[in-house]
Amino acid sequence: MAELLPTELFAFLLVFSRMGAMIMLLPALGETAIPQRLRLAMALAISFLVYSLVRSILPPMPAQPFMLALLIISEILIGVLIGASIRLLMSALHTAGTIIAMQSGLAMAQAFDPAQGAQSALMSTFLTLMAVVLIFITNMHHMMIAAMYDSYSLFPVGGDLNMADFAETVVSTVAKSFLLGVQISAPFIVYGLIFNIGLGILGRLMPQLQVFFIAMPLNIAVGFLILGMVLAAGMNWFLQHMESSLGAFLVSG
């Protein structure tokens, strides 16, 4: 028992290092709105579950403390990189919400966005919170847990970590997120362009008309009308991109 206990604790610590880092960054599971104790309990529970499945492929405990620290740091780095690459997709909704707010005249309405950890437009907060709800409704968090387990097949413990591939994945994810955000908000970009051109022409034709007082309520009302028509399609598009990104970390995907 005196020899077995340290070995098992070391193996569990390796699993917890990767799982904890991933849960800290994954969308829905790692939101800052969730209490820290609850996130820690969830990380321990998932770590224990994954540990029972991957125990046979974990390396033995090294004799040197330096190698032990190196293994733990490597596991934390893998968890951070995987979690961050998936978390970056949430920035697509932040981009879309900011553009929608600017085109609808709601850009001055600011609130704290838990997903971004900073002040942002209310529309961005609304979209990110809706995305979290939809992730749980569609059971996409099950794919995240499956990706945690499959990460041991894609990135074995103690194996070589190809940072070039990770860097390429992160750059590609950022580009896709920005493109997705612009695509989701594309109807509002077109609407804003037409609306502002129309206001400019109206202001030149009727200089005595108070265009600002007429345009603001109309701009907000039409913005909400367009949002009601395109919201379902935009969120469905986001979920499809999230599913494809999670599939990249699944062995079966």
DSSP string, 176-188: HHHHHHHHHTHHH
Percent of the chain whose pLDDT exceeds 70: 93
More confident: 62 or 185: 185
Asked if 232 and 105 count as a contact pair (C-beta separation under 8 A), the reply is no
| Ranges 103-107, 152-156, 196-200, 240-244: which has the least confidence | 103-107
Mean pLDDT of the region 128-140: 91
Q: What is the dihedral of CA 181, 185, 190, 192, to 10 degrees?
A: -110
Domain extent, residue 67, equals 4-247
Asked if 144 and 246 count as a contact pair (C-beta separation under 8 A), the reply is yes
Residue 45 has pLDDT above 90, yes or no: yes
Rounded Cα–Cα distance for residues 187 and 33 (Å): 31
pLDDT at 2: 54
Asked if 62 and 71 count as a contact pair (C-beta separation under 8 A), the reply is yes
Asked if 47 and 12 count as a contact pair (C-beta separation under 8 A), the reply is yes
Strand partners, 111: 120
Q: Is 95 part of any domain?
A: yes
Residue 1 has pLDDT above 60, yes or no: no
pLDDT at 235: 93
pLDDT at 244: 87
Q: Is 71 part of any domain?
A: yes
Q: What is the dihedral of CA 9, 14, 19, 20, to 10 degrees?
A: 70
Q: Is 253 part of any domain?
A: no
Task: Label residue 8 by pLDDT band (50, 70, 90).
Answer: confident
Look at the chain and report how many structural domains it folds into: 1
Q: Is 90 part of any domain?
A: yes
Residue 245, both tokens: 């990104």
Average pLDDT, the chain: 85
Diameter over CA atoms, the chain:
89
Q: Is 162 part of any domain?
A: yes
Residue 120 has pLDDT above 80, yes or no: no
Mean pLDDT of the region 223-241: 92
pTM of the complete model: 0.82
- Chain-centroid distance, C-alpha 111: 19
Asked if 27 and 132 count as a contact pair (C-beta separation under 8 A), the reply is yes
Q: Is 191 part of any domain?
A: yes
pLDDT at 60: 84
Q: What is the pLDDT of residues 66-103, one digit of tens each?
A: 888 889 999 999 899 888 888 888 888 888 998 998 88
Q: Is 168 part of any domain?
A: yes
Mean pLDDT of the region 16-20: 92
Could you tell me what percentage of the chain is helix, strand and coil, using 3-state DSSP and rounding each to the nearest 5? 75, 5, 20
Q: What is the pLDDT of residues 199-226, one digit of tens each?
A: 888 888 887 777 777 788 888 899 899 9
Q: Which helix (H) or strand (E) holds 38?
A: helix 36-54
Q: What is the pLDDT of residues 52-61, one digit of tens each?
A: 899 888 888 8
Q: Is 252 part of any domain?
A: no
